[in-house]
Amino acid sequence: MINEVFGYLKDQIKELDIFKVLDEDKNYIRNIARKFDKLDKILVVGTGGSSLGGKCLVNFESLHSGKEPRVIFLENVDSRNFINIINKCDPNKTGIIVISKSGKTTEPLMLFSTILELWKDFDYANKAIAITELSENNDLRTLAESKKMLVLEHNPKIGGRFSVFSIVGLLPALLGNVDVDLFIKGAKNVLNNVETSKTPTECKLFSDITSMYKIFKDGKVNIHVLMTYSDMFEDYGKWFVQLVAESLGKTEKFGITPVRAVGTIDQHSMLQLFLGGPNDKFFTIITQKHNLETPRISEPIRYLQNHNVGELMASHQKATIEVLKKKAAVRVLEFDKFTIETIGYLMALSFVEVITIAKLADVNPFDQPAVEESKKLVLQYLNEIK
Give the β-pairing of 150-153 and 223-228: unpaired
Q: Could you tell me the pTM of the whole model?
A: 0.95
Secondary structure class of 257 (helix, strand, coil) = strand
190: left (phi over 0), alpha (psi -120 to 50) or beta: alpha
Structural domains in the chain, CATH included, are 14-178 (3.40.50.10490), 182-361 (3.40.50.10490)
CA angle 136, 139, 144 (to 5 degrees): 100
283: left (phi over 0), alpha (psi -120 to 50) or beta: beta
CA atoms within 13 A on the CB side of 355: 23
- Alpha-carbon distance of 309 to 312, in angstroms, equals 5
Secondary structure class of 185 (helix, strand, coil) = helix
Q: Which of 199, 216, 247, 218 is nearest to 2 (CA)?
A: 199
Question: 72 has which bridge partners?
Answer: 43
CA angle 84, 89, 92 (to 5 degrees): 155
- Alpha-carbon distance of 149 to 137, in angstroms, equals 17
What tens-digit pLDDT sequence spans the chain (386 residues)? 899 999 999 999 999 999 999 999 999 999 999 999 999 999 999 999 999 999 999 999 999 999 999 999 999 999 999 999 999 999 999 999 999 999 999 999 999 999 999 999 999 999 999 999 998 899 999 999 999 999 999 999 999 999 999 999 999 999 999 999 999 999 999 999 999 999 999 999 999 999 999 999 988 999 999 999 999 999 999 999 999 999 999 888 899 999 999 999 999 999 999 999 999 999 999 999 887 788 999 888 889 988 999 999 999 999 999 999 999 999 999 999 999 999 999 999 999 999 999 999 999 999 988 888 888 888 888 889 97
Q: Which of 46, 324, 287, 254 is nearest to 167 (CA)?
A: 46
